[in-house]
Amino acid sequence: MSHRFVHENRPGRVVFAAGARSRLPEEIDRLGLHRLIVVCTPGHAGLAAELAAPLGERIADLHPHATMHVPAAIAAKAVARARETGADGCLAIGGGSAIGLAKAVAKDTGLPIVAVPTTYAGSEMTPIWGLTADGRKTTGRDPRVLPSVVVYDPELTTTLPPALSVTSGMNALAHAAEALYAPDGSPIHTLVAAESARALADALPRVAADPHDTDARSDALYGAWLAGSVLGATTMSLHHKLCHILGGTFDLPHAETHTAVLPHVLAFNLPAAPAARTALETALGTTEPASRLFHLARGLGADMSLTALGMPEDGVETVVSQALAAPYANPRPVTEAAIRHLLGRALSGVAPA
């Protein structure tokens, strides 16, 4: 076959091991950083303090104010704090909320980020930032927001509750799935995305069965790392567009929304993306990838209904108008009828058609 593609590797260093958190001081020394602002959610303040303790004098401030979807006002406060403390780097500990806040700081200040993920969000591998203001989420790409070092320690994910582990893992799987039909994918992206989907689908039932199984946690985090790397390198399509609108407009929970929407988008897109379909069939060991992911998530306790997650019935109009307002790459033309059908099924939580 004749290949045509452009492939670009993202810079950045990844340290992956059980217990890798003990290497934080040497990684920070390696970057030559002396005054770090540490960002996390209020719920992770204890963990952040524990991980920051060995860094001693190098911690300029602990800022535990990250929240979902990176509200612009919260981002502005963190930027101001980084400037006040004379920080020369930003240490993000947590999931997408913490890493998103660190990116907002980096975008405005140029500070390098060291990320220690505790979920499967994948944001730590991307140059994509997001900010929410007035009920709308704006995203963009900026090489300055790509973390300089990511420290993956599967032991830090064992406290992620099984339910959240499942939806966080499905959120990662969505990055891999959409990378498989991205217009700017390459053969390497395809291999990485397929391996990510395989690893996550295999690991999530094991994580749900025993949240303290470090091997299962390691496999899930490995899958999430791969998913994040293709999320950062390719253009996402209809699934991510819809989830951004749903999250930014109705403040729906991020990972849970991705979990509920993904099977329906795949049922719509895969017939028009035969190579992606074949890759997912092989990775998931099924001839029906969309249905397999729906039943996998539901079987592990995920709520597959957008209504149950808090979306109002009359919200469909808003989503349809926003989704049709800005064109974006997708394997199939996105029509009003398609979005209504897809959202209707996701609202009620029935299997994809």
Where in the sequence is the domain holding 325, given as residue range(s)?
162-348
Residue at 68 is within a domain:
yes
Q: Are residues 169 and 213 in the same domain?
A: yes
In this predicted model, what pLDDT tens digit does every residue of 251-261 receive, in sequence order?
A: 899 999 999 99
Q: Which residues have CB under 8 Å from 91's CB, separation 6+?
A: 24, 28, 36, 37, 38, 39, 52, 102, 113, 114, 115, 116
| Number of domains the chain is built from | 2
- Classify burial at 53, counting beta carbons within 10 Å of its beta carbon; exposed 0-12, middle 13-18, buried 19 or more: exposed
Q: Point out the domain boundary residue: 141, 157, 173.
A: 157
Contact indicator for 244, 157 with CB cutoff of 8 Å: no
User: Residue 145's domain is classified under what CATH number?
Assistant: 3.40.50.1970
Q: Is 122 inside any structural domain?
A: yes
Whether 353 is covered by a domain: the verdict is no
Q: Quick one: 111 and 187 in the same domain?
A: no
- For 156-189, letters b (16+ CB in 10 Å) and e give bbbebeeebbbbbbbbbbbbbbbbbbbeebbeeb
Query: Quick one: 248 and 302 in the same domain?
Result: yes
Residue 1 lies in a domain: no
Residue 349 to residue 14: CA distance in whole angstroms: 37
CA 199 → CA 17, 202, 223, 283, 327, distances in Å?
A: 16, 5, 5, 8, 32
- 139/166 same-domain check: no
Q: Would you say residue 1 has pLDDT above 90?
A: no
Backbone angles phi, psi at 127, to 5 degrees: -90, 25
Inter-residue contact 273 to 331 (CB < 8 Å): yes
**Alpha carbon 222 to its chain's center:** 13
Domain boundary (157, 178, 202) is at 157
- Dihedral sign for Cα 117, 118, 123, 129, please: negative
Domain assignment present for residue 7? The answer is no
Q: Which of 202, 233, 177 is nearest to 300 (CA)?
A: 202
Same domain? 194 vs 301: yes
Mean pLDDT for all residues in the chain: 96
Closest CA to 169 of 301, 319, 48: 301
Rounded distance between C-alpha atoms, residue 130 and residue 192, angstroms: 24
CB–CB of 112/27 below 8 Å?
no
User: At 196, which CATH number?
Assistant: 1.20.1090.10
pLDDT in tens, 149-167: 999 999 999 999 999 999 9
Cβ distance 1 to 55 under 8 Å? no
223 and 138 share a domain? no
At 287, the pLDDT band (50, 70, 90 cuts) reads very high
Q: Report if residue 8 sits inside a domain.
A: no
Whether pTM > 0.75 for this model: the answer is yes
Tell whether the model's pLDDT for residue 98 goes beyond 90: yes
For the segment 49-73, what is each residue's pLDDT rounded down to a tens digit? 999 999 999 999 999 999 988 999 9
**Alpha carbon distance 298, 313 (integer Å):** 22
Together in a domain, 198 and 344: yes
Domain boundary among 106, 135, 157: 157
Determine the residue type at 236.
M
- Higher-confidence residue of 332 and 136: namely 332
More confident: 6 or 338: 338
User: What band does 83 get if pLDDT is binned at 50, 70 and 90?
Assistant: very high
Residue 145 has pLDDT above 90, yes or no: yes
Q: How many angstroms separate the CA atoms of 56 and 141, rounded?
A: 33
Give residue 5's pLDDT. 83
Buried-exposed string 246-256: b where 16+ CB fall within 10 A, e elsewhere: bbbbbebbbbb
Q: Which two tokens stand for residue 337?
A: 């009828």
